[in-house]
Amino acid sequence: MTKQGGGTKRSSWLTFRRRLLLVRALLRTPATSAELVTVINAELGEQGYPEAAVAALKHDFDALKGEYGCSITYDRSSRHYILADLGELALLDLPEPCMEALAFLEASFPEGSGLPEHANLRALLERVVLLLPAARQAQHRGRRSTIRLGFGQGAGRIDSDTLAIVKHAVEERRELAFDYLSTFDAAIPRRHRVAPYGITFRPEGHGYLDATVLEVTPKGGEVIHAAIDYRLDRIVPGTLAVLPAVLPPIRPTPPSYGLRYTLVPQVARRKDVAAYFPNTDISYHDDGSATVKATVTNLWQARQVLLRYGDACIVHEPPELVRLFHKTTEGLTRIYRAE
């Protein structure tokens, strides 16, 4: 009797484990019956499904539906099983601060929001909510977050194939080549060969490739080994190529520049000036102004940041950045003098 009892307990545990593995597999992705059998047998080996696997699989589905109220549907067109609701088998609950964080993410990345990189965030959110008990799901749907991340809605659409290829090149640490239409290229893109290091999405809604410039054809004003943020929506779709060359273990050091600028008392007198650049050192003066020193590698980006101050900022160094501001000032003068 003891042996038989032990065998029964073991059999019950294996059955429960098999059904739990089924749920885990369907949480990952919809699957065919053959795919589910393969997953279970790969995990449990000889203790997985017997030869009559399809019948045993359906029996497990019936048990999950009957015992826990799981909602498992079958899509005949794709022949995939889909886990729609865990019922009483909800595997996750969260404390209130985490529920607030979930609402914050929901408000920041609502369903149908534009950028393709948000799709994976939406999938993650939906999976987390699916794991919650029914009452907590209802609470989440009724909650309105008072804070959210702000992303611009006017950003250019990023080609999904472009994003996938760029991500692949970053993950594989391989050189990348593409045609790129910058702000200053008019209507004719140029070929860029770069070392890709990461993708960043900024609050204004644009996505950028952080890359080191290796070659540009035809040549322009780019500095070789400079770090440049390429806007993903300006990479010409269909022109990307992941190259055989592997990136070196250490990123090439871009040219660096000592930055020095003065902020007038109007913006510096409260002594809360933001540190936008690496190695920032801020000196406040008796008249309320401030001198800021820092190190920069991207002059174009530094100009964009400092232009936010308008005429409350005076750039002293480096001379290359001062020339950029002269050029910008001349352009603005032509525009507004014409009016």
Write a three-state SS string for 118-163: HHHHHHHHHHHHHHCCHHHHHHHHHCCCCCCCCCCCCCCCCCHHHH
**CA 144 → CA 101, 106, 108, distances in Å?**
11, 9, 11
| Farthest CA pair distance, the chain | 100
Residue partners of 163: CB distance under 8 A and separation at least 6: 116, 117, 199, 207, 232
Report d(CA 114, CA 201) in Å as an integer: 13
Report d(CA 259, CA 211) in Å as an integer: 22
> What class is the 160-246 domain?
mainly beta
Q: Please state at what angle helix 2-28 crosses helix 53-68, rounded to 10 degrees.
A: 90
pTM comes to 0.64
**For residues 103-121, b (16+ Cβ closer than 10 Å) or e, as one string?**
bbbbebbeeeeebbbbeee
* Beta pairing class for 281-284 and 313-317: unpaired
* Beta pairing class for 190-201 and 241-246: unpaired
DSSP-based helix, strand, coil % in the chain, nearest 5: 45, 25, 35
Instruction: Give domain limits for the chain.
Output: 11-89, 96-142, 160-246, 257-338
Structure tokens at 205: 């809604």
Cβ-contact 223, 213 below 8 angstroms: yes
Query: For position 2, what pLDDT does the model report?
Result: 39
| Domain with residues 257-338, CATH architecture | 2-Layer Sandwich (3.30)
In this structure, the number of other CB atoms found within 10 A of the CB of residue 271 comes to 9
Radius of gyration of the chain (CA): 29
Those residues of the chain that have pLDDT short of 70 are: 1-10, 112-119, 150-156, 203-205, 338-339
| Domain with residues 11-89, CATH architecture | Orthogonal Bundle (1.10)
What's the residue count for the chain? 339
Cβ-contact 172, 242 below 8 angstroms: yes
Query: For position 4, what pLDDT does the model report?
Result: 46
Q: State which H helix or E strand residue 68 sits in.
A: helix 53-68
Query: For position 60, what pLDDT does the model report?
Result: 94
Backbone angles phi, psi at 87, to 5 degrees: 60, -130
Report d(CA 146, CA 182) in Å as an integer: 38
* Identity at 339, one-letter amino acid code: E
Query: In 70-173, which ranges are E strands?
Result: 71-75, 80-85
